[in-house]
Amino acid sequence: MPTYNIPKTQKAAVVEKTGAPLQIRNDWPVKQQKDLAPGECLVKLDCSGACHTDLHAAIGDWPVPPVTPLIGGHEGVGIIVAIGDNTSNSPVKLGDRVGIKWLADSCLNCEHCRKGREQNCPHAKLSGYTVDGTFQEYVVSYVNHVTPIPEGFPSDAAASILCAGVTVYRAIKYSQTNPGDWIVLPGAGGGLGHLSVQYARVCGLRVIAIDTGAEKKNLCLKLGAEKFIDFKESKDIVADVRNATGGEGAHAAVVTSSAPGGYTQATEYLRSGGTLMCVGLPGDSKLVTSIFFTVFKSLNILGSYVGNRQDAREALDIAARGDVKVHFSVKPLAELKSVYDGMHHGTVAGRIVLDMTKK
Ligand code: NAD
Ligand code: ZN
């Protein structure tokens, strides 16, 4: 068994109180092996993606408040350097490279866990929201929920599959579409969105991407979207989608826009029997849609929330084989504040991945 030197303190990005400025601290404590509970493991992180959810958490614009002080982050990849004493039947061991996803832990015994909806477990622990996340060098996680990273798949390329990838993979999986169907992807140039374009293509779907600006347009078209609609330039998004689909509208939409605008026309441009998958999480907005046409067109409106352990493995497997690639740039943790600024202004095409090994 390998042995690891575990320092007493580490670098971490900390939000003391919701809405307070982000601080980069060098004196944040590292939980030591003897203090890990059974089932807990300590992961030394290589890197972590930065998700728009982390920005929602730092600002506190969701109706469910995060813990404070808050260490965000839930797209981490690293090596297991310690496991709590008396952990039985651990599916992972010291030295394994694993991923940390939003769902850090769930009981695995309640009705939701038994039905495969682990993310809805009432005992769920959420990385970077209810437990410390991956914007630190060492994170405590849980042996039953960390996700093994396929061999040879680089950590920085894998990181954003653990939230963005698994989330859109699951949403498309349950979108009731068949190969050859049309899918509309509002938010397509963002972190989740650019992966949704690719997973949709893997599923044989025809993609209409909606976002704004030349950089996101080029990215979406390069990744296989057949049509790009700029939501700031289009005079009529519903008409644009209908025209692109031969008049009937799309079979499904997976909305990953963090702003409510991405939802506004979604049910209108779906054809009869179509499915709206709600993924993006504007905190205080209502979904407004015609009750009459929801019934008349037999529409399905579903929420889709991250994914379970199996979804994570499937999403990673597809990406590790090269069929889906995260479009990312790497920055040090110290630049997280500017990453949030970019996300807030909608200027990040794809994802930013933070290198946790850089001093
Ligand atoms: P991001 O900032 O990288 O991407 C959001 C994209 O939406 C941007 O490209 C932006 O230009 C685009 N957008 C804004 N307004 C739009 C509009 N009116 N129409 C079309 N596109 C529009 O964010 P992200 O990290 O991809 O996260 C997106 C959202 O998904 C966030 O709200 C996040 O909290 C949420 N999320 C949900 C889950 C889940 O389980 N359901 C998981 C992860 C993230
Ligand atoms: Zn996320």
Task: Write the pLDDT tens digit of every residue in 122-167.
Answer: 999 999 999 999 999 999 999 999 999 999 999 999 999 999 999 9
The answer, as to whether pTM is greater than 0.85, is yes
> Residue 15: which domain range?
9-148+327-355
Question: What is the per-residue pLDDT for 129?
Answer: 97
Residues 201 and 141 in one domain: no
Q: What is the mean pLDDT of residues 308-325?
A: 98
| Ligand 1 contact, 211 CB (< 6 A) | yes
In a domain, 245, yes or no: yes
| CATH assignment of the domain containing 26 | 3.90.180.10
Q: What is the mean pLDDT of residues 311-316?
A: 98
Residues 227 and 128 in one domain: no
Q: Whose CA is nearest to atom 11 of ligand 1?
A: 346
Distance from Cα 285 to the centre of ligand 1, integer Å: 14
Residues 125 and 90 in one domain: yes
Residues 78 and 191 in one domain: no
Looking at the chain, the whole-number percentage of residues with pLDDT higher than 90 is 96
Residues 344 and 282 in one domain: no
Ligand positioned closest to the Cα atom of 197: 1
Q: Which ligand 1 atom minimizes the distance to the CA of 186?
A: 20
Count of domains observed in the chain: 2
Distance from Cα 281 to the centre of ligand 2, integer Å: 10
3-state secondary structure the chain: CCCCCCCCEEEEEEECCCCCCEEEEEEEECCCHHHCCCCEEEEEEEEEEECHHHHHHHHCCCCCCCCCCECCCCCEEEEEEEECCCCCCCCCCCCCEEEECCEEECCCCCHHHHCCCHHHCCCCEEECCCECCCCECEEEEECCCCEECCCCCCHHHHHHHCCHHHHHHHHHHCCCCCCCCEEEEECCCCHHHHHHHHHHHHCCCEEEEEECCHHHHHHHHHCCCCEEEECCCCCCHHHHHHHHCCCCCEEEEEECCCCHHHHCCCCCCEEEEEEEEECCCCCCCCCCCCHHHHHHCCCEEEECCCCCHHHHHHHHHHHHCCCCCCCEEEEEHHHHHHHHHHHHCCCCCCEEEEECCCC
Summarize pLDDT for 78-129 with one digit per residue, the tens: 999 999 999 999 999 999 999 999 999 999 999 999 999 999 999 999 999 9
Distance from Cα 50 to the centre of ligand 2, integer Å: 7
Question: What is the per-residue pLDDT for 359?
Answer: 67
| CATH assignment of the domain containing 198 | 3.40.50.720
Q: Which ligand 1 atom minimizes the distance to the CA of 304?
A: 41
Residues 248 and 181 in one domain: yes
Distance from Cα 82 to the centre of ligand 2, integer Å: 25
Mean pLDDT of the chain: 97
Name the pLDDT band for 19 (thresholds 50, 70, 90). Answer: confident
Distance from Cα 116 to the centre of ligand 2, integer Å: 19
Q: What are phi and psi of 281, to 5 degrees?
A: -125, 60
| Ligand 1 contact, 350 CB (< 6 A) | no
